[in-house]
Amino acid sequence: MLPRRTDEAWIADLQASGVQQAEALMELRNLLLRGLEFALSDRLQAADHGVLEDAVQEALVKILKHLDTFQGRSRFLTWAQKIAVREALTLLRRKAWKDVSLEDLHPTDLEDLTPKVLSDTRSNPERQATQKDLMALVMRLIHEELTPKQRRALMAIAVYGMPLEEVARRMNTNRNALYKLLHDARRRLKIRLEAMGLSPAEVLDAF
């Protein structure tokens, strides 16, 4: 069994060139792959191994690019594994949504679109009626007040739960621009709700 590399050895070997770097990359690749298989075992299906391979390759690229940011606050392998896990989770979420188009995320019945996360099945009939009326109102405002771009983003993220980074990728934008788009959309809805005598908190309290 080979002795475990020190953090300093990892950095030096990965910053080297030729055979020295290639051997370090291969060893790191194997360690990261085994780590992902263990850390994400409860999320993986048989067809997901290729996703882990892709995640490790993406992680290796980022690790090499950001070696100078490693500050030694944790062990090098711990730092590298966190990067690999983030990449794997991003790719797994993207895989789960790959066959879903943003254009498909439009309700067919606006009057009965209460997100499951907000709906309380134990509510009494009066409360359920209030929830349904308020959700219909919010959906109407979404379609009346927001631009098509704002509407697609808000529906995908807030109603259907698509990951923000996946929506940003589909809309050919970045996280910061998408945050700004969502902020503007929510502000427009807030203004309309307040003009009707309702606050966002009052709407949420009904659910």
Q: Quick one: tokens of 193?
A: 């709700």
Backbone region of residue 199 per phi and psi (left: phi > 0; alpha: psi in -120 to 50; beta: other values): beta
- 201 burial (CB, 10 Å; 0-12 / 13-18 / 19+) is exposed
Q: Is the pLDDT of residue 183 over 80?
A: yes
How much is the pLDDT for 202? 65
How many residues are listed for the chain in this entry? 207
Q: Percent of the chain, pLDDT > 90?
A: 23
Q: Tell me which of 1.10.1740.10, 3.40.50.1970, 2.40.30.10, 3.30.360.10 is the CATH number of domain 7-96.
A: 1.10.1740.10
Q: Is the pLDDT of residue 154 over 70?
A: yes
User: What one-letter code names the amino acid at 119?
Assistant: S
Judged by DSSP in three states, 87 sits in helix
How much is the pLDDT for 117? 39
Residue entry with tokens 């993986």: 44
CA angle, 179 then 148 then 187, to 5°: 45
The domains of the chain are located at: 7-96, 102-205
pLDDT digits (tens, 9 = 90+) for 72-129: 888 999 999 999 988 888 777 777 666 556 555 555 444 444 444 344 455 566 666 6
How much is the pLDDT for 1? 44
CA 79 to chain centre: 20
How much is the pLDDT for 76? 93
In sequence order, which residues have a C-beta less than 8 Å from that of residue 92 and are 6 or more positions away? Answer: 40, 43, 48, 51
Cβ count within 10 A of residue 113: 17
How much is the pLDDT for 23? 92
